[in-house]
Structure 1
Amino acid sequence: MTRKLIYGMNLTLDGRIAAARDDIGWSGPPSEELFRWWLDQELANSMSLYGRKLWEAMSSYWPTGDQQPGATPAEVEFARNWRDTPKVVFSSTIDKVGWNTRLYAGDAVAEIARFKDEDGGPLSIGGATLAGAAVRAGLVDEYAVVTHPVLVGGGTPFFSALDSWVNLNLVETRTFPGGVVLARYETRR
């Protein structure tokens, strides 16, 4: 039995995870309900796989997110879980990581396939470049597309160019405050 690999991120209605110049300000703070949903996903996750840019964004805040003034109980729990969850950053341009994280500069697709073949719980993958390589290699089992009602006109796409079609089955939809919509799909094998 292989582990499930899940690619999920917040994105704009025009399919971007970041606007031009890596600007993610379009999403604003999530509603409490949406934040709780993301927390539940992270609590179910056994390992997080990050590309460099997403790692830099997450590691700039979550190591001390529970110590920020006004941190909610969910934010405290997210920060603690983030620090405790094993993480792998795939990058050849950084040389240091922390907080239960290891760095991998080799063949990302081969390493992700190896993780999938190990025993254990679900794996999450984030970062457009890293996830795009996993999608093209047929390694992603589930997509959590959390669409925000904003158009940014350019930037980093959630989905990169594909070599072939990927057929999916819709397994869940949900609407969150502010018009945010979750669509969760499983890869049809």
Structure 2
Amino acid sequence: MRPLRYSINVTLDGCCHHEEGLPPDEESMRFWAAEMERADALLFGRVTYGMMESAWRRPATGSWPGWMAEWQLPFAEAIDRAKKYVVSSTLAEVDWNAELVRGDLEHAVRRLKQEPGDGLWVGGVTLPTALAELGLIDEYEFLMQPVVAGRGPRLLDGLRERLRLELVERREFRSGVVAVRYRPAGDATGIG
């Protein structure tokens, strides 16, 4: 079974808005490129899919835009070529190497997890909360930004039950960012 990994940048006060943390640097982009490379496919909600596509889809010219630094290219290439699944009840179609996921979310994601491979990756805010509620996330990976945002969407906001996690890896970046990877501890809900 392929594990489902949830990864996101998050400020110290739990904000997950991509503009509230530190701007990407070479070290963080190497990290995210490696994350994209180790995933068989990416799972996005409609909003995250649209945001990622507008930022990281290779232009029709075949050349990356001039604003993109050399150190951003490995991430751009990895996310551009990755297989993507988009959970949406409102989109009529998707492209960018993507397929729509409709119907029962739990059934659809369990089916994707049953396929052979190294793992699935999910980002964003709303979809991961729903997946956590269903007990479908096997790893939680947070890049803790040394920033207090004081506003914005919060990490897994609205979970009905707490998740108890165990730390499996920790890595510090020169910028002060700390990457932490957790797995669910004990039972699926972590209650106890």
On whether the aligned pair clears a TM of 0.5, the verdict is yes
Looking at structure 1, the residues matched to 128 and 98 of structure 2 have their Cα atoms a distance apart, in angstroms, of: 18
Q: What is the 5 A alignment of 1:48-127? A: 48-64=42-58, 67-127=64-124
- Which of 137, 140, 148 is the matching residue for 2:137? 140
How far did residue 90 of structure 1 move?
0.6
1:21 maps to: none
Amino acid at match of 1:151: V
Report the Cα distance in structure 1 between the residues aligned to 2:20 and 2:58, rounded to whole angstroms. 23
In structure 2, how many angstroms separate the alpha carbons of the residues matched to 1:112 and 1:75?
30
- What CA deviation, in whole Å up to 9, does each residue of 1:110-166 have, x standing for no partner? 211111122112100122111111101111110111111222222211213223332
Matched residues in 1 for 2:38 and 2:108: separation? 21
Bigger proportion of residues as helix: 1
Separation in 1 of the partners of 2:15 and 2:86? 22
Within 5 Å, which residues of 2 pair with 1:24-63?
24-63=18-57
**How many Å apart are 1:10 and its aligned residue?**
0.5
Alpha carbons 1:31, 1:177 under 8 Å: kept: no
* Structure 1 position 70, deviation (Å): 4.9
Q: CA deviation at 1:73?
A: 3.9
Moved more, 64-73 or 7-16: 64-73
TM-score (norm 1): 0.88
Task: State the identity as a percent.
Answer: 35
Q: TM-score with structure 2 length normalisation?
A: 0.87
Aligned length in residues? 183
**Aligned-partner residue type, residue 54 of structure 2:** S
Residue 28 of structure 1 and its aligned partner are, at CA, apart by 4.4
Question: Cα gap change, 1:75/1:180 in structure 2, threshold over 3 Å: closer, same or farther?
Answer: same
RMSD of Structure 2 on Structure 1 (CA): 1.8
Equivalent in the alignment of 2:189: none
Q: Which runs of 5+ in 1 are unaligned?
A: 19-23
Quick one: which of 145, 163, 173 aligns to 1:166?
A: 163
Corresponding position of 2:14: 15
**What is the DSSP-based 3-state SS (H/G/I as helix, E as strand, rest coil) of the residue aligned with 2:57?**
helix
Q: CA deviation at 1:85?
A: 1.2
Aligned twin of 2:190: none
Q: CA deviation at 1:105?
A: 2.8
Q: Using the alignment, how far apart are the partners of 1:118 and 1:160 within structure 2?
A: 30
Correspondence for 1:3 = 2
